[in-house]
Amino acid sequence: MLAFLAELGANAYAHLSAGIGAGLVTIGAGLGIGRIGGSAMEGIARQPEAAAKIQTAMLISAALIEGIALLSAVVCLLLNLKA
């Protein structure tokens, strides 16, 4: 497959890496945000009166993960568009 890519030109590797990177970013962010959401659901189900506080904390943690994920997504986008 690498020989095939080499025939396509040097930029093909950049596009390939951008695609693989975007997939990895999705896996990581999905795992992280999924865990946060799941735990928040559980917490709210156990203690519905604390829902507002849990939601705020959930949003903050999700935003922290999302920030890293989007940074990587931007890197992938630049790899794809500028390569």
Partner 1 sequence: MIKNSTFQDHHYNILLIACLACLIVFLPLSAAQASSGSSGSGHDTHSGGHKAPAKGHDTHAAKGHTTDGHATQGDHQSGAFDMGETVMHHLVNIETHELPILNKTSHGWAWKEIPVDGLKFSVGGIDMTVNKPVIFMMLGGFILLFVFIINFRGGKLMRNRLAHILEVYVLFIRDEVVYPNLGEEDGRKFLPLFLTFFFFILILNLSGLIPFGYSASANINVTAGLAIVALLVIQGAGIAKFGFFTHFRSALVPSGLPWPLLFIMIPIEFVGIVAKPFALCIRLFANLVAGHAALIVLLLLIIVGKSFIIAPFPMVGILFISTMELFVAHLQAFIFTILTTLFVSLTLHPSH
Binding site for partner 1 (CB under 8 A): 52, 56, 59-60, 63-64, 66-68, 70-71, 73-74, 77, 80-82
Output the smallest distance, CB 78 to partner 1, in A.
9
> Which is closer to partner 1, CB of 38 or CB of 67?
67
Buried b (16+ CB within 10 A) or exposed e, 27-36: eebeebbeeb
> Which is closer to partner 1, CB of 31 or CB of 60?
60
> Which is closer to partner 1, CB of 27 or CB of 81?
81
Which residues contact residue 74 at a Cβ distance below 8 angstroms, ignoring those fewer than 6 apart? none
Place of tokens 């849990």: 54
- Residue 11 in tokens: 């930029």
